[in-house]
Amino acid sequence: MIETGTLWTIIILLGIGSFGLRFVFTGLVGERAMPDWLLRHLRYTAVAILPALVAPQVVWPAATDGVFDIPRATAAAVTLAVGLLTKNVLMAVLSGAATLYGLLYLLG
């Protein structure tokens, strides 16, 4: 059981901290120019962070207690492939979901 006082402390401090992280550069740097080398790195933020966030969940899904899961891994591969080929986010999501449910049904 989570204590009410602890819970609210965490909600409020986590809210302030999360806002701080989101505001730290847009708020404090503002329109001052940032050096070229930094901008060159920042261009790759999205394509680096998101795959790194997803990779462990694809290989060791929490839902299967970290055991490699064929439906989930295949769904991830199909999503990426359809996304690369069609450049269509919605199409990629739907193909991935269809693969996941299809294989879970067939193999489950």
Partner 1 sequence: MTTTTRKSPYRQGIIDGSPFILVIIPFATLFGVLATEAGLNVFETMAFSIVVIAGAAQFTALQLMQENVPTAIVLISALAVNLRMAMYSASLTPYIGAAPLWQRALCAYLTVDQSYVVGVAKFEREPDMTVNQRVRYFLGAVTPIVPLWYLFTLVGALLGAQVPDSWALDFAIPITFLAMIAPMFRTAAHVMAALVAVIVGLLAAGVPYSLGLIIAGIAGMMAGAQTEVWLERKGLKT
* Binding flag, residue 106, partner 1 (CB under 8 A): no
* Binding flag, residue 52, partner 1 (CB under 8 A): yes
How far is Cα of residue 85 from the mean position of the Cα atoms in its chain?
21
Closest approach, Cβ 60 to partner 1, in A, equals 7
* Binding flag, residue 107, partner 1 (CB under 8 A): no
* Binding flag, residue 67, partner 1 (CB under 8 A): no
HSE at residue 71, side-chain half, CA atoms within 13 A, is 14
* Binding flag, residue 102, partner 1 (CB under 8 A): no
- Positions 14 through 43 that interact with partner 1 (CB under 8 A): 14-15, 17-19, 21-27, 29-32, 34, 37-43
Closest approach, Cβ 67 to partner 1, in A, equals 13
* Binding flag, residue 70, partner 1 (CB under 8 A): no
Instruction: Give the dihedral sign, CA 101/105/106/108.
Output: positive
108/81 Cα distance (integer angstroms): 24
Say if residues 107 and 70 touch (Cβ distance below 8 Å): yes
Which two three-digit tokens encode residue 87?
């450049």
